[in-house]
Amino acid sequence: MKRKILPTQVIRFFVQLFSLLFFPMSFAILLSQIKSLYLAIIGKETFNWNSNFILLIVTVIVTIFFGRFFCGWICAFGTITEWTNLLFRKLFKIKFEMPRKVDKALKGLKYIVLIYLIVFIWTFGDKQLVDPWDAFDNLVSLNFNISLYLANFVFLLLILFFSPFVLKPYCRYFCPLGAVFNKDSARSLHLL
Q: Is residue 191 part of a domain?
A: no
pTM more than 0.85: no
Q: Is residue 1 part of a domain?
A: no
Q: Is residue 125 part of a domain?
A: yes
Q: pLDDT digits over 149-192, tens only?
A: 898 899 999 999 999 999 999 999 999 988 988 765 544 443 33
Q: Is residue 97 part of a domain?
A: yes
pLDDT of residue 144: 85
Mean pLDDT of all residues in 31-60: 87
Domain count for the chain, please give it: 1
CA distances from 167 to 14, 34, 81, 96, 164 (A): 19, 26, 7, 10, 7
Q: Is residue 28 part of a domain?
A: yes
Q: How far apart are CA 192 and CA 167, in angstroms?
A: 32
For 142, the domain range is 7-181
Q: pLDDT digits over 3-22, tens only?
A: 788 899 999 999 999 999 99
pLDDT of residue 184: 57
Task: For CA atoms 92, 101, 177, 157, give the dihedral sign.
Answer: negative
Q: How far apart are CA 30 and CA 37, in angstroms?
A: 11
Say which residues have a Cβ less than 8 Å from residue 91's Cβ, sequence separation at least 6.
Answer: none
Q: pLDDT digits over 103-148, tens only?
A: 999 999 999 999 988 988 888 877 767 778 888 888 888 888 888 8
